[in-house]
Amino acid sequence: MNQYHNYIFLDKINSELSLKIKKIKKVSIIYYTDNFEPFNENNCKLIRKFCKKINAPFYIVNSLKNAIKYNTAGIYITADNRRIILNKYYKLKIIGSVHNNLDFYFKTIQNCTLMMLSPLFYNKKYSRNKILGSSKFRLISRNWKIDLCALGGINNSNLNKIKLLRISNIAHRSMLKLT
């Protein structure tokens, strides 16, 4: 896990999670709330404070206003969000989530510097026929000239399969809770 740059999705932080995150060498934190939960300023401030303490980049999902307000390193744009086209005057790193080539096209228009291709492995959110697997992941992304990140269903047993993809970034949400 330490050989990859880890992008971790968090909606809140506690002492147990913070201890696990501190053990990871290369880490970035993305403040992520589910569609049904409103933006929680207190949780965002706590995570931002934690990121400053460990000197980790901090990102916010789909909100340019909040990204500027909390002075984040960048913004994470979900695959279904096609409306945000960022102005180049903001010095934010833009991370985009993609599922296919059409999403990739829209994320290049949105000036994304890193693409998270998902779902790589099985997880609760996607059915078995939606997962890519390592072979489809490589086929879809073979002509993309951009920094790639694997997202979706990553756990300790899948880390060896990720080595075959020749990528240096992984993103996960529940892997810290399992270890």
Task: Dump pLDDT digits (tens) for 43-64.
Answer: 999 999 999 999 999 999 988 8
Find the angle CA(26)-CA(71)-CA(91) to the nearest 5 degrees. Answer: 80
Please state the domain extents for the chain.
5-178
5-178 belongs to which CATH class?
Answer: alpha beta
Indicate the residue type of 169. N
For position 134, what pLDDT does the model report? 72
Q: With 0-12 CB in 10 A as exposed, 13-18 as middle and 19+ as buried, what is 78?
A: middle
**Contact present, 115 and 104 (Cβ < 8 Å):** yes
For position 178, what pLDDT does the model report? 47
How many whole angstroms from its chain centre is CA 51?
15
What pTM was computed for the model? 0.86
Mean pLDDT of 67-71: 91
Calculate what percentage of the chain has a pLDDT beyond 90: 25
